[in-house]
Amino acid sequence: MSSRTPATQYAALPFRLRNGRPEILLVTSRETKRWIIPKGWAEEGVKPCAMAAREAYEEAGVRGTVDHRPFGNFRYMKRLSVNKSVLCAVTVFLLEVDEVLDEWPEKGQRERRWLTPSQAALAVGESGLVEMLLRLGIPPD
């Protein structure tokens, strides 16, 4: 791993309100089956929030309203192969889920699960993401 600039990814943090309380939708990664949020590589000509919404559809089978302002950022090491990893800088956008689909592009490759923010924070491994999940669970003043 070199000390180059981190690779850029955009992520959706899919959520819904149930009885006034937020629930977070996590998916498993394809390789290691860790719990993550949907994310993908930056693409030229695609707005970051639109990229996040597309990843939510492809990886988690949800559609909704994506916030155009980033909710937060975190970094993590993405494993590309057994002995190659890359540092990724992820910008996260909230996506309020309107529609949960029965069929979606990566359905056979991932599991998805609705969790409370604190349950989701315990399930994910990236510390910067944990902070965002816990922040989502704090009721507004």
The fourth-level CATH superfamily of domain 7-136 is Nucleoside Triphosphate Pyrophosphohydrolase (3.90.79.10)
The three-state DSSP-derived secondary structure of the chain is CCCCCCEEEEEEEEEEEECCEEEEEEEECCCCCCEECCEEECCCCCCHHHHHHHHHHHHHCEEEEECCCCCEEEEEEEEEECCEEEEEEEEEEEEEEEEECCCCCCHHHCCEEEECHHHHHHHCCCHHHHHHHHHHCCCCC
Does residue 111 register a pLDDT over 50? yes
pLDDT tens, 40-94?
A: 999 999 999 999 999 999 999 999 999 999 999 999 988 888 888 899 999 999 9
pTM of the shown model: 0.92
The domain ranges of the chain are: 7-136
